[in-house]
Amino acid sequence: MFWKKPKEEKPVLQPQASKKRFIDSPQKNLKRDLQAVRGMSTPVISFGFTSGTGSSNINNIIRWFLPEWRNASRDAVMKTPIGRKYMNLSVDGVVGAEGVYVKPAPELDDMDADELHELSKKLEKRFDRWAYDADRFSLDGSMTLDTFQQTVEKIRVTDGECFIRIHNVNGTVKIEIIDAARLTQLNNQWLDNGNYISNGVEWDKNHKPVNYYFCIYNPITYTYDATAFDIIPASEICHYMISDSMGQERGIPDMISTTKTMEDLKNFTEATLIAKRVSASTTAFITNNNNDTDQVELVAGEDNTTATYTEYLEAGAVFELGKNQDIKTVNPQSGVDRIGEFTDELMNQISMGLNVTKQSLMGSTADASFSAAKLAERLQATTFRTRTNTLISKVLKPIYREWLKNEMINNNSLNLSFSDFDELICARYIPVKPISLDPVKDIQAEIMLLDAGLKSKTQIISEMGGDPRITLEEIAKEKDIQNKEMNSNGFETKESEEGTNDSSSGD
């Protein structure tokens, strides 16, 4: 009978998989970083001492990690503000806006002071005409001496090294910069003549460079052929790098010691911005106690979609909840507490790794005192002066030597002998003097050294970038002019007084 018929049970609706929308977050990167920190794995190549192996040798470490370091440094310079600022800071401190000026100063015993001065002026005029003419100076006609120095320093900061080739084209010296990536560090082998190739450079038994094996470059595909080489003699190459260890064969980028710290700062900043973005997004819900349904469809117009409370809801959206349901809010402010202290600590470590002051690296004058700025200026001057000396010894002196040699061969009007070449290549390399924070005290210090007999006027004028002979001659001429004016004024005054006395006596 119908009253004994069992009731049909309604099927229980099972929630189906929802279509979720998530914000891109560094969760996976964070998990990987934590695993790397907590892991106990040991790298294949380390800086520690290993018995019976050569893993602790700096050249072996460069062989394995140089491309990775170079790519990381290039990425930091291009994409991070700290890397970009540090590169420009190094260029401004080492080279400056005008570059290091090369002033010929030959020293010949058979010439007097006037003849040496005339020869110096003649060589300086010829060198300036060559060095500051882009078509004559660079192989591609794109650089002069000042822009060349700036480019070289930028490449050294980014890649850790810079290769300059000196060409002799139709009796003219031309300069070319070669990409460091062309010199592959995996080209290691013994040669039949007893030499060996290490990190792409051929060395003799005394560890003196003989040839550089640069990979052939394809300008269409922008790639290098690691099996074909352009062998260039070491006499044509200037290898500009700053060595950190004895016998180091390749340069290491400056920012390698701070790569991990800069990555931590970048990740923390991104997480902070995401937290700020989430906290700025407000979602409103209205609770309806008369609702008979237990399901909440938050996404209207989509099939097979049910509500889940792990979804990200768009800002400004209004949804309706079912009965007996509630909303729990999360305050993301705790993740960004004391962000200033955390950032300041990371900036201290980055500044130490780059050997620059934090004030100079950030370019900020907030809370800066005069004494602190003066101390930072002194520290930066010492750091950049060391790099400037390396640039002069490894790049500018060889270039000037090759130019003078070529000039003596092709220009007979100079009447110079190669037997005096060692005295003729003498020159003064004058770096740009930075603007001092207190020039009056600096001048007073120079005057005190002059009065104490510890410095001469010639030395002070040379350090300021001037020509002592010309400066002293101009000072002497100005004094003569002033003395003549004073004598003439005194003579006229005396005549006028005598005329007045004569007229009064006649009266």
pLDDT tens digit string along 96-128?
888 999 999 998 888 888 889 899 999 999 999
Higher pLDDT, 13 or 177: 177
173, β-bridge pairs: 168
Please state the pTM of the whole predicted model: 0.74
DSSP string for residues in 109-133: TTS-HHHHHHHHHHHHHHHHHHHT-
At residue 36, the pLDDT reads: 57
**Cα four-point dihedral sign 435, 436, 440, 446:** negative
Distance CA 483, CA 278 (A): 80
The 10s digit of each residue's pLDDT in 48-82 is 444 444 457 899 999 999 999 999 999 999 988 89
21 pLDDT tier (thresholds 50, 70, 90): very low
Domain residue ranges of the chain, discontinuous segments joined by +: 56-257+365-433, 262-354
The 10s digit of each residue's pLDDT in 202-234 is 999 999 999 999 999 999 999 998 889 999 999
Q: Look at residue 395 and tell me whether its pLDDT is greater than 70.
A: yes
Amino acid at 59: N
Higher pLDDT, 443 or 132: 132
489, β-bridge pairs: none
Please say whether the beta carbons of 169 and 82 come within 8 A.
Answer: no
Tokens of 443: 């001048």
**Residue 240: other Cβ atoms inside 10 A:** 22
Cα 1 to Cα 6, 7, 131, 398, 459: the distances in Å are 10, 13, 114, 114, 124
Helix (H, G, I), strand (E, B) or coil at 260: helix
pLDDT-wise least confident of 31-35, 95-99, 161-165, 423-427? 31-35
pLDDT-wise least confident of 26-35, 222-231, 401-410, 486-495? 26-35
Place of tokens 């007097």: 112
Closest among 163, 153, 159, 160 to 90, alpha carbons compared: 153
Task: Kindly state the helix (H) or strand (E) to which residue 163 belongs, with its residue range.
Answer: strand 161-169
Distance of CA 302 to the CA centre of its chain: 54
At residue 18, the pLDDT reads: 43
Pairing of the two strands 318-321 and 284-287: parallel
Tokens of 293: 């349904």
At residue 23, the pLDDT reads: 44
At residue 20, the pLDDT reads: 44
pLDDT-wise least confident of 49-63, 166-180, 463-477? 49-63
Q: Look at residue 89 and tell me whether its pLDDT is greater than 60.
A: yes
Give, rounded to a whole angstrom, the gap between the first and last alpha carbons of the chain: 166
Cα 129 to Cα 102, 151, 430: the distances in Å are 12, 20, 18
DSSP string for residues in 68-108: HHHHHHHHHHHH-HHHHHHHHHHHHHHT-SS-PEEEE----
Mean pLDDT computed over 14-38: 51
